[in-house]
Structures are given as structure tokens and as C-alpha cells.
Amino acid sequence: MIRRSTKTFIFAALVAFMTLSSGCATLSPGKEKDLLRDRVAQLMNAKIAGKWDLAYDFFDPDFRIRVLKKDFTSLQRKTVFKGFEIRKLEILPSGKEARVEINNHISMMGYDLKNAPKVQHWVKQDGQWYLKVKAHNTPFGNK
């Protein structure tokens, strides 16, 4: 038979463990924004460096199921990324989606565009932020 003081100690230890572990599971909004900002910057820097194999890993898992890495990296790209500026970064109330506004510096078809705006949608899955890419619609269904 377990004595009352032992039960009380075990209960207090469990409560303390649960409290401390749940505190680690949630990050402050500022810290979460910093993590997302870093992911966005890493993706954009991979694009600027032309490292499409690295960029591929930032796309959401659904995209990576639809498009194989070898197919993604072998695409002929008409846009050259030269720089970027994150204009606005907003994590939605769910904490699992975000909207990021970027000004891209790109070169495309002989034109140099220094403030080409782009809105990116990011999702958090398994504790990591990924760029969400919608499936392209075709007359024959989704790719």
C-alpha cells in the first residue's frame, strides 16, 4: 500500500513535469515569427544561389509528393532571383498558417525587376514551417 505522502509527491511531480513540458511545446509569438523569418530567408537565399535542391526541401510535404525532387531541380527556369525583402510576416490565429509578403529582385526575359511583389503562404507541419504550393489546375484535373 502506498502512503499518502508518497501519492502526494508523485502527483506533484507529474503536475510539475506536465507544466514544464507544455511550456517548451509552445513558443512565444515573437520567437515563432523569428523561426518563420529564418525559414523564408533560407528558402529565398537558396533560390538566389540557384540551389534548387535545397529550395525543394522548404516546400510543403503535399507538393513534394506531387513533384519529385529530380523533376523539380531539372526544370528550366526563366526567372533569376537576385535579392529579396520581407515586407510583412503574419502568423494567422491558428498558429499553423502564415502569410508573408516579399519584394523580389528578379531578372526575367531581359528585364530587371527590383520590387516584384509576391505573397507566400506558409504552413506549419510537424513543428516546421513550409511554403504551401497549390496544385495547378488543368482542363484534365489537378496535376
Q: State the 10-residue block means of pLDDT for the chain, 143 residues long.
A: 56 46 56 97 97 97 95 93 97 97 94 93 97 68 46
98 domain residue, yes or no:
yes
The neighbour count for residue 83, using CB atoms within 10 Å, is 12
Range of the domain at 108: 28-142
User: Are the beta carbons of 36 and 100 closer than 8 angstroms?
Assistant: yes
pLDDT of residue 102: 97
The number of domains in the chain is 1
8 domain residue, yes or no:
no
pLDDT of residue 30: 84
pLDDT of residue 31: 93
Report the CATH number at residue 57: 3.10.450.100
pLDDT of residue 22: 41
67 domain residue, yes or no:
yes
pTM: 0.74
